[in-house]
Homo-oligomer: A and B are copies of this chain.
Amino acid sequence: MNDLFQMISQLQTEYCRCIADGEFERWPELFVADCLYRVTTAENFRQGFEISLILATSRGMLIDRVSALRQANIYERHSYRHIIGLPSIPAATDDGHHSCQTSFLILRIMQAGPTEIFASGCYHDRYRVVGDAILLAERVVVCDSSRIDTLLALPL
C-alpha cells in the first residue's frame, strides 16, 4: 500500500478517534480552511439534489459548530462510535485532489442507555496534500437511510 493510502487511512482513524473521545475541537483541524462538509441522504445524493441536512463551506463554520455543541445546544449526553471500512484506492482528480470513498457505521451510545445504530452510509471525500500532511478538502456524508434522528449534534 502506498503512502497516500496510508495517510488517508490514518486521517480517517484520527477523525473517528477525536469524535469518540469527545475532542471535538480537533475535528475541524482535519479539514483545509476552504473545505466543504455536507451531510445528505443516498436518495438525495443519487438524484443530485443540493439540499443538505448539514452544510458547512469553511473550516470556520465547523469551528462554529463545535462551539455551539459545547456552549449552546441542550441535548441528552451521548457519544458516537464510528466503525469504518477500508477506503477505496484514491483517485487523482483534475483539480489536484485525491478522491476516495469509505463505508461507515455510526453507533450512538446514550448515557446509561442502549447502544443503537445511528447511521450508516458512505463518505465521499476529496483530500488535499498540504506540505507533509493530508487534509480533508471535502467530505460528503451520504447516509443510507432517509430517516435521520433529529438529534444530530455530534459530527458524523
Contact = CB atoms under 8 A, between A and B. Distances in A.
Given A16-B103, A20-B103, A145-B109, A85 B83 contact: yes
A116 B107 CA distance: 12
A81 interface: yes
A57 interface: no
Nearest to A110: B145
A83 B109 contact: no
Interface string A2-15: 00001001101110
Interface in A28-51: 42
Interface string A97-134: 00001011101010111111101111000000000000
Contacts of A85: 13, 16, 82-84
B147 A20 contact: no
B112 A147 contact: yes
Interface of A: 1, 6, 9-10, 12-14, 16-17, 20, 42, 79, 81-89, 101, 103-105, 107, 109, 111-117, 119-122, 144-147
